[in-house]
Structure 1
Amino acid sequence: MTQTHTTNILAKRTLLLAAAAIGFAQTVLFAILAPLGREVGLVEVQIGAIISSSSLTLFLVSPLWGRASDVWGRRKILLIGLFGYSAGTIMFAGVFQMALLGYLIPITALVLLIVTRVANATVMAAVSPSASAYMADITTVEDRVKGMGAIGAAGNIGAILGPAIGGLLASISLLAPLYFSVFITLVVAVLTLYTLPELPKKTVIKKQPRLKYTDPRIFPLIVAGVLLFMGFAIVQQTIAFRFQDELQLSGVQTAKIVGISLMFSAAAALFVQLLVIPRLSVRPFVLLRISMPIMMIAFAIMALGHTQNMYILSMCILGIGMGLAGPGFMAGASLAVSSTEQGAVAGIAGSCPPLGFAIGPLLGTYLYSIDGALPYWFAFGSYFILFFFTLKFKDKR
C-alpha cells in the first residue's frame, strides 16, 4: 500500500510537470504569433489559419492517441507527445526564421508554417489524452475532479511563466521564446522518460472501447466543450490584434503586453483551481453553468473597452471562468463512463479544445477584419446560448 501510494505521488508530480511544460509552450506561442505573423507579411486570417489547421489536426488524432494509450500504455504515448512536440516546434520556428531573413515570400511561408504546424500537432496530440487518462487511472472517483483540476492548475502555472519569460525573451528576438519552449519541453520529456512509472499491466486495458462522440452519456458535455473552447480560442487569437491596433503598439511591445495579460489570465485560473474548486462540492455541469456568466462579462469588456487596463481586466475575468469550466468539463467526461473507457473518453474530451481552436481562430480573425469588437460579441452570444444548453441537461450521479 505504501509503495503504491509513493508511486502514485511520483506519477502525479511527473504528470504535472508535463502539463506545465505544455502550458508554457502554448502560451508563449499565443503571445508572439500575431506580431510574428505580421512581421513576415501575413494578414489576420492567414495567421488564424495556422492555428486552425493544427487545431483541426489535434481534433482528428486526439481520440486515436487516447485509444492507443489503452493499448500501448499511457507512458509511451505521453513520451511520444513530448518529444514530438519539441521536434515539431524546432521545424515550425525554423520556417519563421527563414521568412524573417527574407528567404521565403509570405505565401510560401504560410504553406510551410501550416505543414510544419500540422505535423507538430499530429504528435503533440498524444500529450493531453495520455496525461488525463493516466491521472484517471491513479485517482479514485471521489478525487477525480481534484486530479483533473491539478492538471489544469499545472498547465496554468506553465501558462503564467510562459508569457512572463516569453515577454522578456521577445526583447532579444520574437523567435527566442519558441526556442526556449523547446528546451523546457525536452527537459521535461527526459525527466518523464526516467521518472514516470509504468502502470501495472492490469491497469492498461488491452481491448479498445468503441466510444463515440454521440454517446448519450457524454454528448451534452462534448457540445458544451466545443463551444466553450471556440469562444476561448476567438479571444486567444484576436486579443493581440486588439492590443496592437487599439494601443498602436509595435510587434515587440504587443508580445510583451499580450504576455502580461495571458499571465494574469492564467494566474486567475490557477487561483480558482487551487483555492476555490477544492472547497466546492458541486457536480461538473454546475461548474460549467457558473463559468458561463463570468466569461460573458469578460467578452463584453473586451468589446467595449479601449484601454490597456480594461483588456487586462477582461483577461483576468476570463481566466476565472476558464478555471471553473476546464476541470468541470474534463471531470464530467471522465465520470460519465466506466473505468475501462478512460483512455477513450480522455481522447474524445481532449479533442474538443482542438475542435474549438480549429473553428475559433479562423472565425475570430474573419470577424475582426470586419470590426474589432465583433469577435467578442459573437463569443458573448455563443456563451449565452451555451448557458441555457447546460441548463437543459443534468449530469448523473
Structure 2
Amino acid sequence: MSSADATPSSAPSRLSRSSFFILITGLLANAIGQAFIFAILPPLGREVALSEVQTTSIISTSALVFTFCSPWWGRRSDQIGRKIVIVIGLTGYAVGTVIFAGVFALGMKGILSGWTLYFTALFFRCLQSSVMAATSPGVTAYAADHSSRAFRTQTLARLGTANSLGVIIGPVLAGLLAGLGLLFPLYVAALFTLIAVFTVWKYLPEGEFSGVARKRAPRLSFLDSRLRVYLLSAIGTFTGFSAIQQTLGFRIQDSLSLSGVETAQYTGAALMVSAFFTLALQLSVAQRYAGPALNLVRMGLVCNLFAASFVALAQGLTGLIIGMAFMGAGLGLIGPAIAAGASLAVSRDEQGGAAGLITACPAAGFVIGPILGGALYQLNAAYPPIFAGIITFCVLLYALKSRVINIAPED
C-alpha cells in the first residue's frame, strides 16, 4: 500500500486555527464575488437589454455545469490532494470573473448585443463554473480530514460563516462600488480571489492526501441511500431560494421604480439582511448543536416556509426584508447540517466524493429555480415565492419521514 493510500488511525480533533483562517480566506473571496454577481446581474442584464429569462438563465445554465463538475472535483481531491484542487478552483473563479465582466463591457459599448451577447456571456460563465466548482469540495473535504466526527458539525458550521460574511459584506461593497460602474465590483472580486489564491498556495499545509495519486476514488451517487435525505433537502432548499433570490432585484426595481444602480444597492441590502441571519444562526445554534444533523435540517425548512410566505404576501420592501431574514435563518441551519450529516454518513475515503455531491446541490437548485422563477415572475410577482413554498413543503414532508442516518464508525 502506498503512503497516499494509508490513512491515519485517528483524525485530529479540530482543524488548526491557521488552516481554518486560510480556508476562510478562500471561501470569503468566493462568497463576496458571488454576492456581487447576484446583486448586480439583474440591473446589468437590463442595462444591456437582456430579458429577465435570459438573465436568470445565465445563472441556471452555469449552475447546471457546476452541478456536474463539483462531484468530479470532489473525487479528484481524493486522488491528487485537497490543496491543489482548492487553488485550481479559486484561480478559475478569478480569471473567469474578469472575462465575464469583459463580455458585459462589450455589451454596454454596443460591440456585442442581443443573442450574440447572451450566448457569449453564457459560454464564459459556464466555463468559469466548470473550474470554480473545485473550491468548495476541496475545502469541505480538507476540513473533514482534519476534524474528528465529534467536532464535524461545529467545524463545517464555522467554515459556513465565511459564506455568510461574504454575502453580508458583498452586497454592501457591491452597492458602494457600483457607484463607480456596474462592472467595477466584478474586477474587485477577481482581485480579492487572486489574493486568496496566493494565501492558500503559500501557507496552507498540504494535508493528508498530498502524496502519490490514488488509482481510483470511490464514486458516490446522488441516489446513495446514506445521503439521499441530505441531498434532496439541499436541492429543494436552493431551488426555492434561487427562485426568490434571482427575481428579488426585479421585484424591488419594479415596486419602487428604481434605477439600475439603486436596484443593486437595495437588492444588496436585502441579501445582506438574509446573510446576517444566516450568520447569526450558524454562530448561535449550528456551532453549539450536538444532536442529529437531520433535526437542524427540519428546523431550517420550517424557517424557509415562513420566508416564502412573507415574500409572497409582501406589499413593500419591509415584507421582502422580513422574508429574506427568515430565509437566511433557514439557510444558517440547513447548510452546516447537510454538510455535516453527509460527512458523518460516509467512510473516510469517501469524504471528497460526499463533499462534491453536497457542493453540487446548491448549484442543482440554481439550475431550475432562477429560470423558472424568471418565467413565473413575468406572469405574477408573487408566483416565484409561492413556487418556493410548495417545493419547501414537499421537502419538509420527506425530511420528517426520513430516519436519522446512523453515524459510520471512525476509520
Matched, 1:239 2:248: yes
Distance (Å, rounded) in 2 between the aligned partners of 1:162 and 1:329: 24
Q: Deviations over 1:111-151 (max 9, x none)?
A: 00000100100100000100100010011101110111111
Distance (Å, rounded) in 2 between the aligned partners of 1:214 and 1:200: 28
Distance (Å, rounded) in 1 between the aligned partners of 2:211 and 2:22: 18
**Unmatched runs of 5 consecutive residues or more in structure 1:** none
Q: Deviations over 1:253-302 (max 9, x none)?
A: 10000111111111110111112222323211111110112111111111
Note if contact 1:137-1:203 (Cα within 8 Å) is conserved in structure 2. no
What is the 5 A alignment of 1:152-301?
Answer: 152-201=160-209, 206=214, 207-301=216-310
Q: Deviations over 1:300-359 (max 9, x none)?
A: 111111211221121111101110011111111111101110001111111111111111
Q: Please state how far the C-alpha of 1:220 moved relative to its aligned partner.
A: 2.1
What is the 5 A alignment of 1:61-140?
Answer: 61-140=69-148
Is the partner of 1:294 in helix, strand or coil? helix
Matched, 1:8 2:19: no
Q: Please identify, of 70-79 and 216-225, the stretch whose mean Cα deviation from structure 2 is larger.
A: 216-225
Distance (Å, rounded) in 1 between the aligned partners of 2:295 and 2:285: 14
Note if contact 2:82-2:139 (Cα within 8 Å) is conserved in structure 1. yes
Q: 1:279 to 1:5 in 2, by over 3 A?
A: closer
- 1:23 aligns to what? 31
Is the partner of 1:171 in helix, strand or coil? helix
Q: 1:110 to 1:79 in 2, by over 3 A?
A: same
Q: What residue identity is the alignment partner of 2:80?
A: W
**Unmatched runs of 5 consecutive residues or more in structure 2:** 1-11, 407-411
Note if contact 2:145-2:208 (Cα within 8 Å) is conserved in structure 1. no
Q: Please identify, of 302-311 and 202-211, the stretch whose mean Cα deviation from structure 2 is larger.
A: 202-211
- 1:332 aligns to what? 341
Q: Deviations over 1:145-164 (max 9, x none)?
A: 01111111111111111001
How many residues of Structure 1 are paired with residues of Structure 2 in the alignment?
394
Matched, 1:50 2:79: no
Q: 1:202 to 1:258 in 2, by over 3 A?
A: closer
Q: Please state how far the C-alpha of 1:361 moved relative to its aligned partner.
A: 0.6
Q: Please identify, of 241-250 and 199-208, the stretch whose mean Cα deviation from structure 2 is larger.
A: 199-208
Q: Deviations over 1:215-263 (max 9, x none)?
A: 1111222122111111111112111111011111111110000111111
- 1:361 aligns to what? 370
Q: What residue identity is the alignment partner of 1:64?
A: W
Note if contact 2:80-2:211 (Cα within 8 Å) is conserved in structure 1. no
Distance (Å, rounded) in 2 between the aligned partners of 1:204 and 1:114: 37
- Superposition CA RMSD, Å: 1.6
Distance (Å, rounded) in 2 between the aligned partners of 1:91 and 1:278: 38
Distance (Å, rounded) in 1 between the aligned partners of 2:16 and 2:352: 18
Q: Deviations over 1:32-84 (max 9, x none)?
A: 00000010001110011100111000001111100000011000000000011
Distance (Å, rounded) in 2 between the aligned partners of 1:116 and 1:7: 35
Picking from 299, 314, 319, the partner of 1:310 is 319
Identity %: 39
Q: Please state how far the C-alpha of 1:205 moved relative to its aligned partner.
A: 7.6
Q: 1:333 to 1:376 in 2, by over 3 A?
A: same
- 1:345 aligns to what? 354
Q: What residue identity is the alignment partner of 1:306?
A: Q
Q: Please state how far the C-alpha of 1:8 moved relative to its aligned partner.
A: 2.7
Q: 1:203 to 1:154 in 2, by over 3 A?
A: farther
- 1:393 aligns to what? 402
Distance (Å, rounded) in 2 between the aligned partners of 1:326 and 1:279: 15
Q: Please state how far the C-alpha of 1:201 moved relative to its aligned partner.
A: 4.8
Is the partner of 2:180 in helix, strand or coil? coil
Q: What residue identity is the alignment partner of 1:152?
A: G
Matched, 1:322 2:322: no
Distance (Å, rounded) in 2 between the aligned partners of 1:95 and 1:247: 29
Note if contact 1:205-1:340 (Cα within 8 Å) is conserved in structure 2. no
Is the partner of 2:50 in helix, strand or coil? coil
Distance (Å, rounded) in 2 between the aligned partners of 1:16 and 1:202: 20
* Runs of 4+ displaced beyond 2 Å: 4-9, 200-207, 278-282
Note if contact 2:80-2:209 (Cα within 8 Å) is conserved in structure 1. no
Q: What residue identity is the alignment partner of 1:223?
A: L
Note if contact 1:73-1:204 (Cα within 8 Å) is conserved in structure 2. no
Matched, 1:143 2:151: yes
Distance (Å, rounded) in 2 between the aligned partners of 1:203 and 1:396: 32
Q: Please identify, of 39-48 and 12-21, the stretch whose mean Cα deviation from structure 2 is larger.
A: 12-21
Q: What residue identity is the alignment partner of 1:393?
A: S
Is the partner of 2:155 in helix, strand or coil? helix
Q: What residue identity is the alignment partner of 1:32?
A: I
Note if contact 2:14-2:151 (Cα within 8 Å) is conserved in structure 1. no
